[in-house]
Structure 1
Amino acid sequence: MTISVTGVRGRIIAAAVLALALAGPTLPASAQSAAATAEAADPAVAKVKTFYDTLLAGMKQAKQLGVKGRAEKLDPVIKSTFDLATMTRLAVGPTWEKFTPDQQKGAIDAFTKVTIATYANQFDGFNGEVFDVDPTPKARGADKIVETKLTPGGDNPPVPLNYLIRGQGDQARIVDVYLNGTISQLATRRSEFSAAVQQGGADALIQGLQQQAEKLLSGA
Structure 2
Amino acid sequence: MLPTRLSICKSMILRGFLVAGLFASTAAPTWAAEAPDAINGLNAQLLATMKQAQALGVQGRYNALSPVLSKTYDIGSMTRAAVGANWEALQPAQKAALTDAFGRMMIATYAKRFDGFSGETFKITEVTDRATDKMVKTQIIQNNGKPVAINYLMRKSGPEWRVVDVYLDGTISELASRRAEFTSILKAGGPDALIASLRKQGDRLLSGG
TM-score between the two structures when normalised by the length of structure 1: 0.81
- 2:45 equivalent to 1:60: no
- 2:174 equivalent to 1:185: yes
User: Per the alignment, do residues 179 and 195 of structure 1 end up closer, same or farther by CA in structure 2, a change over 3 Å counting?
Assistant: same
Residues 137 and 145 in structure 1, CA contact (< 8 A), matched pair in contact too:
yes
Larger Rg: 1
* Secondary structure of 1:53's aligned partner: helix
Whichever structure has more strand as a proportion of its residues is: 2
- Please, what is the CA RMSD of the aligned residues? 2.3
d(CA) in 1 for partners of 2:53, 2:169: 25
Of 45, 59, 64, which aligns to 1:73? 64
Residues 150 and 166 in structure 2, CA contact (< 8 A), matched pair in contact too:
yes
Matches within 5 A, 1:1-220: 10-12=8-10, 32=28, 35=30, 38-42=31-35, 44=36, 46-134=37-125, 137-155=127-145, 157-167=146-156, 170-220=159-209
Residues 74 and 162 in structure 2, CA contact (< 8 A), matched pair in contact too:
yes
d(CA) in 2 for partners of 1:100, 1:211: 21
Residues 13 and 152 in structure 1, CA contact (< 8 A), matched pair in contact too:
no
* Matched length: 193
1:132-157 per-residue CA deviation (whole Å, 9 max, x = no partner) reads 124x52011211101111111224x1
* Secondary structure of 1:137's aligned partner: strand
- Which structure has more relative contact order (CA 8 Å, sep 6+)? It is 1
TM-score between the two structures when normalised by the length of structure 2: 0.85
d(CA) in 2 for partners of 1:54, 1:186: 24
Could you tell me the percent identity over the aligned residues?
A: 44
Structure 2 spans left out of the alignment, 5+ residues: 14-25
User: Per the alignment, do residues 168 and 101 of structure 1 end up closer, same or farther by CA in structure 2, a change over 3 Å counting?
Assistant: closer
d(CA) in 1 for partners of 2:62, 2:83: 24
